[in-house]
Structure 1
Amino acid sequence: MIHRTLRHLGALALLLAALPGQAQQIRLDPLPDAGPAEVEEARPVVPQQPAGPRLHVQGASPESRPATTADVLLPLRALEPQPGRVTSYRMEGDAPQAGFVLFLPQDFDGETLQIATQSSINVLPDRSQIRVFVNGRAIGTATLENFDSVRAVSLPVPPGLLKAGRNLVRIEARQTHRVFCGADASFSLWTDIVLDQSGVRLGSQSFDTNPLGFLAAVAAQAARGQALRVHGTGAADRATTIAPVIAQVEGAFGGTPPRISFEDYYSVGTTPPALARVAELPLGTSPPGGYEFRRGSDGAIVMAVDPTAYERLAEVLAEAVPQNGTEQGLPDLPLGRYVTFGELGFDGLQGHGRYIREGAEFRLPWDWLLLASQRADLALNYRFDTGLPEGALLLVKVNGTTVQLLPLDDPETAGQTLPPLPIRFRASLLQPGVNRVDFEALVPGDPPDRACEPRANPVFEVLDSTQIFVPDSPLMSRPGLGRTLAHLRQEGLSISENAKQTLPAGLLLQLAAVFRGHQGTERAPSGLDPQLTLATPADLGLIEGPLADRYSADLLHALTRVSAPAVATAPVAAWDRVNEGNWLSALLRLDRIAALPDRLREGVTSMWRGDEPDLPEWLADRSAQALLFQPDMSRPDRVWLVVGPRAMPETIVESLAATHRRVDGPKGQVSVLTGEGIWDSWVSPDQPLQLHEPLTLANARAVAGNYATTRPQDYVLVFITITLCSAFVAMLIAILMRRRRP
């Protein structure tokens, strides 16, 4: 038995020896002062641990260049990332358009831009295409005909158009439904731009050992889904020290910051090999200046840096990126005067298709606040095309609320520029921070059961001479997440002990990149020192503040709930439906009579406190991946980000990065991240107002209006008191007058 077993084991050993294999290799780069001759191929043995990292010398010798010459794709990165989509961007509707950043290490001539797409089967190829622009110049078109798989088209780029650093790529799509026509059909049209297969393909030798080469390599590596690896000693404060550099990397790319992972000096190489990495040098081995860009033995661009030189290195990276005019931010709207769309940077808005939503976004100061009956104005200059079907409408919306409805089927006014149309709306529809004015058109199909005929002219045009007026306000604010996050900087970020044990260390760095600077303005110093703490549900019991003390259990349930609970509804009998409109039967129903006191109490409470429900009621039907909350409104600069057990860190970072240009970002006191990657916010009805300037006759009316709107109960009590006092005085006078009569 023993001999038979030995024979089997021997045969197995011979079989394994015959199989092709490769031992796991540990990559070691040469020391900073090592020459090319000292570089040897890694062997499957464990070497003695030297004093520091081994880095390849930046050199001109052939041995110091990478062994591989494979092409590398420099990918597109979305200017406005979509939560839940890392490697693709979905363009939905009849005529969507989107902007992307292409980061290049140097100027290029004669290159081609590769665009990979996949479209919905509902798209009709004969009438659907994309048009591609690079730095404002059209370079070509492509038909949308990839339905079953992703395919790419290569467009030649004219010489001199691609510059080192940021290049702005804009894609405009025209999509037609193959069967139906109308606003409903528009919602089933989409095309995915596959980002990790779209861009410019270059040889690996195109990455020079300089800041631009390092940044371009990081961009290409991020498109593969690989993290930027930081090799060092594993000190606990590494995330804090490297934050300025990572913030600058995100600033160069735009969009979502790359993932970060911390590694020891000695770690297994990645597959495919890394294109860029960071190596922290030990004391006494730093090059002059504290940093140097070198090429590793695997061809990666290595940023070798003294941990004390990160601040200086961040400035070097910022100065290395050319300003190509691609930096885009939301404009600040001047207050108290009419401002044209042209002044805000909008050249006019054009609407194509059957369901259209075009908008103009701008920012208001965070200390702007008008809650009463003040009015803002929009002087709309527009025109619409001829031959639009009956029922075509244009809705003008302010932050999602419709303020004007205009017909687009009037043949007498079609095809001509109309006189300015004054549209007045409540200034309280606007908010501090990001605001959006939308022009939403719905055009019926004509006929609806056949593919739409191409239309050369836009359905409507909003001219750049359109004006908007927003009245000035006193310097006032309310505590809320939006204002605090807008002033948050990377030095205000911290992480709890529990979060250090469970969350990836790179998450704090990504958040530091997202909040790398101010996202708004104030007309007076805010006085805020924002602090955001990254935490886990285990930290809820340790957080101090009224909201945490009262509602920590409700917050915990929202984070750990698998899905939002379904609301059960009792079946309605047929006779109840028959008598539903009869007021007498409704009056005699005992269940409604029994519920009358509760309904009256809710009505009085709503009049007293507003329509916002209490926090437990609001959280009862919500499931959160993560939540942002402000536990104490008396300390508005203290905010906590609690990450749930099922949350994906990438989704959190993407959603927060997207809120810089969106109206529906976190606000109020509690904001939960839903499964769709959207922040849903709860605003406390007890928000206090803060006046940041002296009370004068000029601002007294607006200040009183804000207080009366926010806390009507105080004014009701004041007027009731005045009324009672007046009645008491009147009764007293009447009694005294009666006593004096003979």
Structure 2
Amino acid sequence: MPDQSPATAPSAPRPTAQQDGTLPGGGTFRFVVPSAKLGLEGEFDRRSWSVYLTPEQAAAPAKFNLAYQNAIVVAPEASQLTVLLNNRVVGEQQIGSPDGLSSISFDVPPGLLQPGGNLLSLQATQRHRTDCSVASTYELWSDIDPAQTYLSFSGQEAAKLSSTDAIRAIGVNEAGRTQFNLVVPALEQPGTTKPLLRLAQGLAILSGMPNQTFAFTTDALPMPGPGKMAIVVGTPAELQPLFAAPAAALTAPLAAFVTDPRSGSPVLLISGPSWPAISSAIDTIVSTTDRSPTVRRDALATERWSAPDAPLLFSDTKLPFSQLGVKTIEFSGRRVRTGFNIGVPSDFYANAYGEATILLDAAYTQAVLPGSHVDIYVNGNIASTVPLASTGGGIFRHFPIRVTMRHFIPGVNRISVEAILMTKEDEVCVPGTTGSTAPRFALFDTSEFHMPDFARVGQRPNLAAFAGTGYPYGRNADPIPLFIDRIDPDTLSATATLLGQMALVAGRPMAVEPAATPAAIGERDAIFIGSISQMPAAVLSQVNISPTSQASWRPTTDAQSAQAEPATTFDEWRSKVNGGVWRGQITSFQEWLRRNFDISLSSLQFIPGAETIFTPSSVDSFMIAQGPSSSGGATWTIVAAPSAKDLREGAEAVTAQDIWPQISGHITTFSSKTGAIETVPVSRFHFVASQPWSLSNYRLIAANWLSTNILSYALLLVALSLLIGVTTAGMLATLGRRK
């Protein structure tokens, strides 16, 4: 039970984006929601993530402040919102705010918060006012307002940052974003790019936040605020017009938090007598995140937005639900859903044949009618269904549920378990039935997820692996060649934002080596970043992007988009009149094959088709493309936009938590106008050996390849049958009696 009964707090201070992290009347606050939106949906929902606190914040008296609004159909007498910190209930509140936002405040018990990570959980139990159907459960929601949900601390000590470890406590702003503002007067000088990009990657890993951006400036300190950190980098002479560096920076590397005399807010100062000394100061911060690419990770960092971290599974593994963050649930409603995260490596290759297994421990009462079922989802796609057919209730003890792995992707995967329950009481739905508390279903945390052995081989190109684990760059021990068309604040900000996200998913900062020309890169994995007009034409052709895009790719203005070109209109009508019916029949047949037999026309080809030349449309404002190098022995990735401004805005948009996992295929484009992500699937790829030779792995690789290429499998089956027949006939001809 909470130490103090909750009470609405109309007088509680409401932080705004203009504040610098302090509250009126003294004290500081920390926004805690790591996304722009947070909704608790259905009859039961629970979200958990970790909030990192400094020792000063953990020691200060604290309150948890929350603002929410719910659907009008939510019954307040049977619905409850619960706040837990470090698995201890600090507040409970009836859900009853359908007309607008309601703010509530709970005292945090002394000693509950701790320096470092603190597990925050929001749990909602919701019931419908009048309807007992399963469909009505989709109408239940409670939206949390991130701009009014925060931890507040008494006193001024909580605002202090005493060591560089406080980088982990940067937090988020009211929109769930994190921004590092780097002030570097010598930004465009040679020799500064490499250490600055190493610093950006280290900061990204240390903070671990899901929506991080980096911004470079040369002449002014940015305004302070929640979720923002100012970093000043340069020699004392370079910083003199902006910032007075301590005398210690004149003789030795320095990396420490200092107070900005103009705003009074803490600033991370990195300085030294020369840039080699500054690089040494950067290493004192970043070296704690270094990891050899040969050292295997056990988990992918997700706890800052979804706790716990996702375990990274490489082979046959069994994990109980309790270890995956799923707690035992006793449920009295109609639809309950919970889930967990697991990770798979970049060389995962089992999407065509592989099956994982959930060993389910669950029970349901005799009130549950046949027709009820348990569904398993992978990344939002239905993967398996188990009917609850017994009329007298039942108990599942490690009941195996096979889960197809066709929807698994490299990196983090979300697996959800949902139970749909129907009863006679719900069919009658007498008054008060919706609020019944008698359990009808239980899911136990002793259930297990079993990942079998799966094929492991790298693929080129593979943007899904690039987004999932930073492949292939995260595995490189040598510096990665990095082609940047020009060093300006927008381009370098986009580069730092992208590399920071790559370092976060790769789990380590990657050494980069600026390269001026493709000839200097040779046959090495490389990254090309810049505006499309400055990209080498040979590199664009290598990844099947039309070189004419350098002149033609320009976003349309509103005036241009309002007028349709006559040629386009005539072409559209010509296709409708001449071949529309025939093409429509072919499309319908393809859809029928896919829906009923899971067969696509691409799987009926003996030889994969060649990649088509791609031209970005005028709607697109950002593009990531990947392909082989000129000799085919390495991977080249291009990140381009029509201008440096578009490049920066596009990098900030696609690295957001809700968009980054959508990057896949051979080419991915983003439109700043529509917010849409479009992908071009891979037509032809090459295998890249990632594991030592083993017969079992090659057998699994062959199984997946043959499952994807049906005609090749059929031809091989016929050939083997003929071979067996010929061999048998030959043996019979030489054996046995003869006249």
Structure 2 equivalent of residue 507 of structure 1: 494
Structure 2 equivalent of residue 170 of structure 1: 121
Contact 1:554 / 1:616 at 8 angstroms: preserved in 2? no
CA deviation after TM superposition for structure 1 residue 358, in Å: 2.2
Structure 2 equivalent of residue 667 of structure 1: 664
Structure 1 equivalent of residue 29 of structure 2: 73
CA deviation after TM superposition for structure 1 residue 329, in Å: 1.7
Q: Distance in 1 between matches of 2:227 and 2:657?
A: 28
Amino acid in the other structure paired with 2:163: P
Does residue 309 (structure 1) correspond to residue 278 (structure 2)? The answer is yes
Q: What does the per-residue CA deviation read over 1:688-734, in whole Å, with 9 as the maximum and x for residues that have no partner? A: 334445766555543433443445565667788999999999xxxxx
Instruction: Say how many residue pairs are matched.
Output: 623
- SS across alignment from 2:684: coil
Q: Distance in 1 between matches of 2:333 and 2:582?
A: 52
Q: 1:291 to 1:387 in 2, by over 3 A?
A: same
Amino acid in the other structure paired with 2:539: E
Does residue 497 (structure 1) correspond to residue 485 (structure 2)? The answer is yes
Contact 2:609 / 2:684 at 8 angstroms: preserved in 1? no
Does residue 262 (structure 1) correspond to residue 250 (structure 2)? The answer is no
Does residue 608 (structure 1) correspond to residue 596 (structure 2)? The answer is no
Q: What does the per-residue CA deviation read over 1:646-694, in whole Å, with 9 as the maximum and x for residues that have no partner? A: 979678546535379x9x5423322344778675544323223344457
Structure 2 equivalent of residue 476 of structure 1: 457
Structure 1 equivalent of residue 316 of structure 2: 336
Does residue 143 (structure 1) correspond to residue 143 (structure 2)? The answer is no
1:219 to 171, 185, 200: 171
Q: Distance in 1 between matches of 2:382 and 2:160?
A: 53
Structure 1 equivalent of residue 259 of structure 2: 295
Structure 1 equivalent of residue 737 of structure 2: none
CA deviation after TM superposition for structure 1 residue 169, in Å: 1.3
Q: Please, which moves more after superposition, 530-539 or 471-480? A: 530-539
Q: 1:113 to 1:377 in 2, by over 3 A?
A: closer
Q: Distance in 2 between matches of 1:349 and 1:638?
A: 48
Contact 2:163 / 2:256 at 8 angstroms: preserved in 1? no
CA deviation after TM superposition for structure 1 residue 179, in Å: 5.2
- SS across alignment from 1:640: strand
Q: 1:184 to 1:727 in 2, by over 3 A?
A: closer
Contact 1:279 / 1:302 at 8 angstroms: preserved in 2? yes
Structure 1 equivalent of residue 655 of structure 2: 656
Contact 2:485 / 2:535 at 8 angstroms: preserved in 1? no
Structure 1 equivalent of residue 51 of structure 2: 102
Does residue 279 (structure 1) correspond to residue 279 (structure 2)? The answer is no
Q: Distance in 2 between matches of 1:618 and 1:386?
A: 59
Amino acid in the other structure paired with 1:439: V
Contact 1:222 / 1:228 at 8 angstroms: preserved in 2? no
Q: What does the per-residue CA deviation read over 1:359-396, in whole Å, with 9 as the maximum and x for residues that have no partner? A: 23212333343366565444322223553466433223
Q: Distance in 2 between matches of 1:550 and 1:539?
A: 14
Amino acid in the other structure paired with 1:483: A
Q: 1:533 to 1:358 in 2, by over 3 A?
A: farther
CA deviation after TM superposition for structure 1 residue 330, in Å: 0.7
Structure 1 equivalent of residue 16 of structure 2: none
2:625 to 619, 624, 629: 629
Amino acid in the other structure paired with 1:208: K
Q: Distance in 2 between matches of 1:209 and 1:342?
A: 35
Q: How does 1:418-433 map to 2 (within 5 A)?
A: 418-424=396-402, 426=404, 430-433=408-411
Structure 1 equivalent of residue 503 of structure 2: 516
- SS across alignment from 2:628: coil
Q: 1:494 to 1:409 in 2, by over 3 A?
A: same
Q: 1:569 to 1:426 in 2, by over 3 A?
A: same
2:151 to 200, 203, 208: 200
Structure 1 equivalent of residue 444 of structure 2: 463
Amino acid in the other structure paired with 2:196: I
Q: Distance in 2 between matches of 1:495 and 1:670?
A: 19
CA deviation after TM superposition for structure 1 residue 290, in Å: 1.6
Does residue 127 (structure 1) correspond to residue 123 (structure 2)? The answer is no
Q: Please, which moves more after superposition, 712-721 or 471-480? A: 712-721
Q: Distance in 2 between matches of 1:305 and 1:417?
A: 61
CA deviation after TM superposition for structure 1 residue 172, in Å: 0.7
Amino acid in the other structure paired with 1:533: F
CA deviation after TM superposition for structure 1 residue 157, in Å: 0.6
Contact 1:214 / 1:276 at 8 angstroms: preserved in 2? no
- SS across alignment from 2:637: strand
Structure 1 equivalent of residue 184 of structure 2: 232
Q: Distance in 2 between matches of 1:458 and 1:274?
A: 42
Contact 2:624 / 2:667 at 8 angstroms: preserved in 1? yes
Q: Distance in 2 between matches of 1:138 and 1:493?
A: 51
Q: Distance in 1 between matches of 2:313 and 2:392?
A: 35
Q: How does 1:675-686 map to 2 (within 5 A)?
A: 681-686=679-684
Contact 1:350 / 1:461 at 8 angstroms: preserved in 2? yes
Contact 1:493 / 1:532 at 8 angstroms: preserved in 2? yes
- SS across alignment from 1:366: coil
Structure 2 equivalent of residue 22 of structure 1: none
- SS across alignment from 1:333: coil
Q: Distance in 1 between matches of 2:184 and 2:693?
A: 56
Structure 1 equivalent of residue 350 of structure 2: 370
Q: How does 1:22-41 map to 2 (within 5 A)?
A: none
CA deviation after TM superposition for structure 1 residue 470, in Å: 3.6
Q: Please, which moves more after superposition, 349-358 or 608-617? A: 608-617
Q: Distance in 2 between matches of 1:615 and 1:95?
A: 46
Normalised to the residue count of structure 1, the TM-score between the two structures is 0.67
The structure having more radius of gyration, on CA atoms, is: 1
Q: Distance in 2 between matches of 1:697 and 1:71?
A: 64
Amino acid in the other structure paired with 2:265: A
Contact 1:361 / 1:435 at 8 angstroms: preserved in 2? yes
Q: Distance in 2 between matches of 1:466 and 1:123?
A: 31
- SS across alignment from 2:700: helix
- SS across alignment from 1:196: helix
- SS across alignment from 1:630: strand
More strand by share: 2
Q: Distance in 2 between matches of 1:153 and 1:265?
A: 42
Q: Distance in 2 between matches of 1:554 and 1:612?
A: 26
Structure 2 equivalent of residue 437 of structure 1: 415
Q: Distance in 2 between matches of 1:99 and 1:593?
A: 52
Q: Distance in 2 between matches of 1:618 and 1:357?
A: 41
Structure 2 equivalent of residue 92 of structure 1: 41
Contact 2:350 / 2:454 at 8 angstroms: preserved in 1? yes
Does residue 534 (structure 1) correspond to residue 532 (structure 2)? The answer is no
- SS across alignment from 2:639: strand
Q: Distance in 2 between matches of 1:216 and 1:403?
A: 37
Normalised to the residue count of structure 2, the TM-score between the two structures is 0.68
Counting aligned pairs with the same residue, the percent is 16
Amino acid in the other structure paired with 1:233: P
Structure 1 equivalent of residue 240 of structure 2: none
Q: Distance in 2 between matches of 1:67 and 1:141?
A: 25
CA deviation after TM superposition for structure 1 residue 331, in Å: 0.8
